[in-house]
Amino acid sequence: MTALLEVEDLRVAYGKIEAVKGISFKVEAGQVVTLIGTNGAGKTTTLRTLSGLLKPVGGQIKFDGRSLKKVPAHQIVSLGLAHSPEGRHIFPRMTIEDNLRLGAFLRNDKAGIEKDIQRAYDLFAILGERRKQAAGTLSGGEQQMLAMGRALMSQPKLLMLDEPSMGLSPIMMQKIMATIAELKASGTTILLVEQNAQAALSLADQGHVMEVGNIVLSGTGQDLLHDESVRKAYLGED
Ligand SMILES: Nc1ncnc2c1ncn2[C@@H]1O[C@H](COP(=O)(O)OP(=O)(O)OP(=O)(O)O)[C@@H](O)[C@H]1O
Ligand SMILES: [Mg+2]
CA 48 to ligand 1: nearest atom? 18
Q: Give the total number of structural domains in the chain.
A: 1
Indicate whether residue 14 lines ligand 1 (CB < 6 A).
yes
> Considering every ligand atom, which ligand is closest to the CA of 197?
1
For residue 24, being part of any structural domain is answered with: yes
Indicate whether residue 196 lines ligand 1 (CB < 6 A).
no
pLDDT in tens, 19-38: 999 999 999 999 999 999 98
Ligand 1 mutation target, pool 44, 195, 209, most atoms within 8 A of CB: 44
Supply the pTM of this predicted model: 0.94
> Does the structure show a pLDDT above 80 at 1?
no
For residue 106, being part of any structural domain is answered with: no
> Does the structure show a pLDDT above 80 at 128?
yes
For residue 162, being part of any structural domain is answered with: yes
Question: Distance from the CA of 200 to the center of ligand 1, in angstroms?
Answer: 20
- Evaluated on CA atoms 71, 157, 62, 227, the torsion sign reads positive
Expressed as residue numbers, the domain containing 59 is 5-86+151-234
For residue 126, being part of any structural domain is answered with: no
Give CA–CA dist 214/132, Å, rounded: 44
The per-residue pLDDT for 7 is 98
Indicate whether residue 83 lines ligand 1 (CB < 6 A).
no
For residue 121, being part of any structural domain is answered with: no
For residue 130, being part of any structural domain is answered with: no
Question: Distance from the CA of 122 to the center of ligand 2, in angstroms?
Answer: 29
State the CATH number of the domain containing residue 60: 3.40.50.300
pLDDT in tens, 171-215: 888 989 999 999 999 999 999 999 889 999 999 999 999 999 999
Considering only CA atoms, which of 213, 216, 237 is closest in space to residue 225?
237
Kindly report the three-state secondary structure assignment for every residue of 139-159.
Answer: CHHHHHHHHHHHHHCCCCCEE
